[in-house]
Structure 1
Amino acid sequence: MSLTISELQALFFGLFGGLALFLYGMRKMTEALKATAGSRLKNLLAALTRNRFTGLAAGTVITALIQSSSITSVLVVGFITAGLLSFSQAIGVIIGANVGTTVTAQIIAFNIAEYALLLIALGFLLEVAGRREWLRHYGMVLMGLGFIFFGMELMSEATRPLRDYPPFIDLLRQTRHPLIGILAGALFTTLVQSSSATTGIVIVLSGQGFISLDAGIALIFGANVGTCVTAMLSAIGRPREALKAAVAHVLFNLGGVLLWVWFIPNFAQFISSLSPAHPRVDGCSAAGRRNASADRQRAYFFNIGNALLFIGFTPQLARLVDWLVPARAELDQPVQPKYLDPYFLSDPTVALDQVRLELLHLGQRTLAMVEEGLNAVTRGGRQRLNELRKQDEAIDTLHGEIVTYLGRLSLQNLVEPQPRQIYEYLAVGSYLENIGDVVETNWVTDGFKRLESGVNISTSTLRLLERLHEQVCRSGKITLEALEHNDLEQAREVLRSKATYNELAEQARTHLARRLVVVAPSRLDAFRIEMDLIDHFKRIHTLFRRIARLIEVSVSDSRKTSKSG
């Protein structure tokens, strides 16, 4: 028997069109689940990573909820970068993510293809007509599921003519050899960038009776190898922690395949005994159609078995990965962002956390500039004043990178309160950059005026200026701590400091007014410089209070939302 051109055309259209719908459904469902879960996933991960076992549970639950181990990996890398998670703890989450992906196999193995179009219709109705955002997201989930099942049905119908096509049957018989099956599964997974797609194809082929259970297991093992290639490719050029997470993923999957490949027949018999129908399937026998329940157990038991074996060795695995991925040598490079990486843009929740860390980096540089500034302006020479200018150039560079990154982030699929957070972070960055400008433009100018006019600031005046300076620096320090911890009370403490600052500033102005009557060379020049410094202190203190006010509003709104939710 041979296939006609029209049959071949229908086969390719059905197979690749069905695969495209399957992948589209997976992506749509993942995006909707991620948007629905929002920052709750981050909170769940933070709460469940006290040790390797709770980390395993967290990775499993989060990946099962969002149907994407890559998003879980982004969350993990973000936590490591922020110092909230050690790499040894993170390995437990990565192992759990592999277990969580098997939920996909459990879902797609259910034979509800006849309801696929109904799911698509209901999902479309909810997405278009839903008045609430969460209702529209649930509609997207239903549509995604519908496309998954409809795509699998198209692939299943397209492959029916191959049941009596000898060349195809002979080709599939080659997959009985474990190595060939693993290579085929790895190659296909690498090409389509989805182990779920490979699982779907295996279920279709097994349901049609084309492949044996042993061959299906080899293909699933190959899918696990293929995800390693995908993980390594996606880690190229990423932060070191992302590369380490990818290497841990590879070691876990490859180690598991190498361990279990020798026991495929025993593994197949064990899985077969758990299915509703027990027959071992060979070639194109009719019994193959009853093998779908066994198909959805393959990846499940493989990843569960691996997790139980490897979870006890996470410290050793972490040390091995650290050895394989050494830290890069620190080079004398121009200032650059520490936390902003395109890797995190796929998950706005994590990306916003990275922006907050970068704002803290910017804030620490700005505060250091303010702390050094008074001494340089009142006592320093030209070299120290020029160093202050260079520090402001670094602040301008970091601020520009933050604005650019937030611009790219704004193009992602955002849900409330993420757009508002972007606005708040833009404002915080601008205020910090303005503080640097005050020091660079105003303080440095005053410092050069002092040098040119030969002014010496008196000890009593300097003491008052230092008290003002200490108050400004203290407010700046508390503001950055409030930003780091989203601390409402610290933000309010900065806002309350206005009265204390105004009292100190008034004392300084009164003192300068009294000294103006002192007959001394360049007294008028000194008065102007000293009054300028007081005005500039006020400007900096006001900018820190504006940041504190943003934090107060943001935290208060967040608490109101969580209570109403």
Structure 2
Amino acid sequence: MGVLLHLLSGVALLIWGTNIVKVGILRVYGANLRHVLSVSVSNRFAAFLAGVGVTGLVQSSNATAVIVSSFVGQGLIAVAPALAIMLGANVGTALMVQVFSLDLSWLSPLLIFIGVILHLSWKGSKAGHVGRVLIGLGLITLALELISIATRPVVQAAGVKVLFSTLTGDAALDMLIGAVLTILCYSSLAMVLFCGALASAGVVSIHVAMALVLGANLGSGISALMSTSGNNQPGKRVTLGNLLSRLLGCVIALPLLTKAEELLALVGSEPQRMIVNFHLLFNVALALLLLGATAPLARLCEAILPGRNTGDSQVTPRHLDPAALSTPTLALSNAAREVLRIGDRVEQMLDNLLRVLRTNDLKLANATCRIDNEVDDLYTAIKLYLTQISTEALDEHDGERWTEIISLTINLEHAGDLIERVIVDTKEKKIAHNLSFSEAGMQEIAEMHARVVANLRLGLSVFLTGDLRSAQQLMAEKAAFRDLERDLSRSHLQRVAVQTVESIETSSLHLDLIAELKRLNSLFCSTAYPVLERAGMMNRSRMKEDPEEKVAAVAGAR
């Protein structure tokens, strides 16, 4: 029982390490990876290479499937090139299996050591996320070593040998068993390496292990389809096509397993190496077979899943008309209208945040985090739309407007991430322990929150109208907000000093919340910079103004 527990913990650690790498890479390079996937559709080969590269970085073809499906659901990518990306993603996963099948036990402590230093020293920054990625890679190599150690007694046990001896008859049944095991452990990488270990120990034959590997590929396709089950119809067509391609490959490969075994024996007779080589051979051969047939496969998927978007239509871009790209001024106007929709979603997240802070509503907290995904989707759509506008056709005014739109889009996307981070901290530090803010503390947070929301609305108004007085008012609010943060932090610490229980219990979250609200306010107030610069009222990022006017503007804002 202990040996089995060690094996299961090794598999769990492998999945967790893969997830850490995926999250870290997407946080550091998420927008760039999405951009690579979205623009690499000029031809099938470029899309295929993009799938290989991105999946090699995020360590998960399922993660690539989710990204690509979201693009198809938004209409940014057609189904056919998306299927080419997924063929590349499958090859990328097989290449990572090749890498992790090597003896990398010496690398694990080094990666974890460096990763922890980077993550703790620069938490929240790009370097900190890179450290997170290194920790994940270290955990993956450590997990594979633990799995290897745990499988040695397991595969030698008489009961295990009897169990796996039943997998020597029907290759199709063996394949289905491999698919089920892959769905359960949610990692084709772990399953393929485990099959290699079984073959290396002589528990199963090479033939059976290869059938299990086919099942791992099939199970991975099913897992990807399940992970996008909530998407709209176009998005689900990508993972459906991926599953159908893998199923076709398995049907073709099953009767050829003996021939494949003979071919692989020419390269090397070591059982584990033969298994991982077969996994790579299968995915490369499948890519070569279907890369030129993605269009018919896409049509088949459209026939199976007819209809348009069935998801939440309010997060689908409404104003990004591709026909307007030839008229830059009109295209910029469309992009500006879409940015305002992001502003609406961010304001909704802010409203939900205050309710979560007051009520500890876990369901609302989770729903608010999902809104950030919608913000990310709209951000990606706007960014890609703007990159399609010919900058050569922009005059000086339109060029400045292009910069304003992309800057506000980036700031609002960052604001959504900040709010999500506050929600996650609230869940961990407050809701999980059923804590509450003090009455005075909650009132101060509500006051600060109201001013942030007001400044978001004012910032969007400045973005639309370019009104100079509103821009001055916004900058005055930013200066006043610094003072407000200091006052509220001092007030909270005074409550802690007099032993207010609620303030002591929530002190860390309270101070972090005040700091994050200040950052949000700074993002919203930055809309004023272009207006003030055009008016000649900015000098090294400071507004030229009379102190009395500044005080008047703040008073007016209140």
Q: Same fold (TM over 0.5)?
A: yes
- The CA distance in 2 between the partners of 1:483 and 1:410, in whole Å, is 29
CA distance in 2, matches of 1:184, 1:291: 20
**CA deviation after TM superposition for structure 1 residue 26, in Å:** 1.1
The separation in 2 between residues aligned to 1:141 and 1:189, in whole angstroms, is 24
1:197 is the counterpart of 2:190: yes
Do residues 300 (structure 1) and 280 (structure 2) align?
Answer: yes
> How many residues get paired?
382
- Which residue, 21, 26, 40 being the options, matches 2:32? 40
| CA-CA distance at 1:225 after TM superposition | 1.4
Partner Cα distance (1:338, 1:291) in 2: 50
* Correspondence list, 1:141-220, <5 A: 141-177=133-169, 178-220=171-213
| Structure 2 counterpart of 1:242, from 230, 235, 248 | 235
**Alignment partner of 1:159: what SS?**
helix
Instruction: Decide whether the 8 Å contact of 2:25 with 2:133 is kept in 1.
Output: yes
- C-alpha distance after superposition, 1:67-122 (max 9, x if no partner): 12233223323433444422222221121111111122112201222543343233
Q: Which moved more, 1:79-88 or 1:168-177?
A: 79-88
SS in 1 for 2:55: helix
Which structure has the larger Rg?
1
Question: 2:49 matched to which residue of 1?
Answer: 57
Asked whether the equivalents of residues 52 and 91 of structure 1 are also in contact (C-alpha less than 8 Å), the reply is no
Q: Which residue of 1 aligns with 2:108?
A: 116
Rounded to whole Å, the distance in 1 between the matches of 2:90 and 2:529 is: 40
Partner Cα separation in structure 1 for residue 309 and residue 31 of structure 2: 34
Q: What is the Cα deviation at residue 245 of structure 1?
A: 0.7
Q: Distance in 2 between matches of 1:96 and 1:329?
A: 26
Amino acid at match of 2:274: A
Would the alpha carbon gap of residues 149 and 15 (structure 1) be closer, same or farther in structure 2, given more than 3 Å must change? same
Unaligned runs of 5+ in 1: 1-8, 279-289, 341-356, 367-394, 430-480, 497-538, 557-565
Alpha-carbon distance between aligned partners in 2 of 1:293 and 1:551, rounded to the nearest angstrom = 61
Q: Distance in 2 between matches of 1:494 and 1:157?
A: 60
Deviation at 1:220, TM superposition (A): 1.0
| Aligned pair partner of 1:126 in 110, 118, 127 | 118
* Contact 2:37–2:50 under 8 Å retained in 1: yes
- Distance (whole Å) between structure 2 residues aligned to residue 196 and residue 218 of structure 1: 15
- Which of 65, 70, 90 matches 1:98? 90
Aligned partner of 2:180: which letter?
A: L
1:484: how far off? 8.6
Query: Residue 41 of structure 2 aligns to a residue in which SS?
Result: coil
Give, in whole Å, the separation in 1 of the partners of 2:63 and 2:21: 13
Deviation at 1:161?
Answer: 2.6
Structure 1 residue 301: deviation in Å?
Answer: 0.7
Retained in 2: the 8 A contact 1:95–1:311? Answer: yes
User: Who is 2:307 aligned against?
Assistant: 327
1:109, 1:295 within 8 Å by CA — same for their partners in 2? no
Aligned to 2:487: none
Change (3 A) 1:485 1:219: same
- Report the equivalent of 1:363: 337
Asked if 2 retains the 8 angstrom alpha-carbon contact of 1:195 and 1:224, the reply is yes
SS in 1 for 2:202: coil
What TM-score, normalized by structure 1, do the two folds share? 0.58
Contact 1:155 1:204 in 2 (8 A): no
Letter in 2 for 1:291: P
5 Å-filtered alignment, 1:95-494, equals: 95-130=87-122, 133-177=125-169, 178-275=171-268, 278=269, 290-328=270-308, 337-339=314-316, 363=337, 403-404=347-348, 411=369, 485=389, 489=394, 492-493=397-398
Cα distance change of structure 1 residues 38 and 364 upon mapping to structure 2, 3 Å threshold = closer
Compared with structure 1, are the counterparts of its residues 213 and 327 closer, same or farther at alpha carbon in structure 2 (3 Å cutoff)? same
Q: CA deviation at 1:243?
A: 1.0
1:212 and 1:78, CA in 2 relative to 1: closer, same or farther beyond 3 A?
Answer: same
- Alpha-carbon separation, structure 2, partners of 1:540 and 1:114: 57
What runs of 5+ residues in structure 2 fail to find an aligned partner? Answer: 318-330, 354-365, 402-459, 468-523, 534-558
Report the Cα distance in structure 2 between the residues aligned to 1:71 and 1:16, rounded to whole angstroms: 23
Deviations 1:203-254 (A, max 9, x none): 3323433232212211111011112321232232311121111111111110
Q: Deviations over 1:358-388 (max 9, x none)?
A: x95993899xxxxxxxxxxxxxxxxxxxxxx
Q: What code does the residue aligned with 1:68 have?
A: S
Counterparts in 2 of 1:133 and 1:103: CA distance versus 1, 3 Å: farther
Measured in 2, the distance between the counterparts of 1:552 and 1:105 equals 50
Specify the code of the residue in structure 2 equivalent to 1:120. I
Cα distance in 1, alignment partners of residues 369 and 63 from structure 2: 18
In the TM superposition, what is the alpha-carbon distance from 1:486 to its structure 2 partner? 10
Tell me, in whole angstroms, the C-alpha distance in 1 between the residues paired with 2:73 and 2:367.
18
Instruction: Give the superposition deviation at 1:400.
Output: 5.2
Q: CA RMSD in A?
A: 4.3
Question: In structure 1, which of residues 1, 21, 27 is the aligned counterpart of residue 13 of structure 2?
Answer: 21
Match of residue 543 from structure 1: 464
**Following the alignment from structure 2 to structure 1, what is the Cα–Cα distance between the partners of residues 67 and 309?**
26
Check if 1:89 corresponds to 2:81: yes
Structure 2: distance between partners of 1:164 and 1:77: 43
| Cα separation, partners in 2 of 1:172 and 1:360, compared to 1, 3 Å | farther
Q: Any idea what SS the aligned residue of 2:307 has?
A: coil
Fraction of identical pairs, as percent: 24
Task: Find out whether 1:10 has 2:2 as its counterpart.
Answer: yes
* Partners of 1:403 and 1:541 in 2: CA distance: 16
The answer on whether the counterparts of 1:32 and 1:140 sit within 8 Å (CA) in structure 2 is yes
Paired AA for residue 304 in structure 2:
L
**Preserved CA contact (<8 Å) 2:462 2:528:** no
Q: 1:495 to 1:196 in 2, by over 3 A?
A: closer
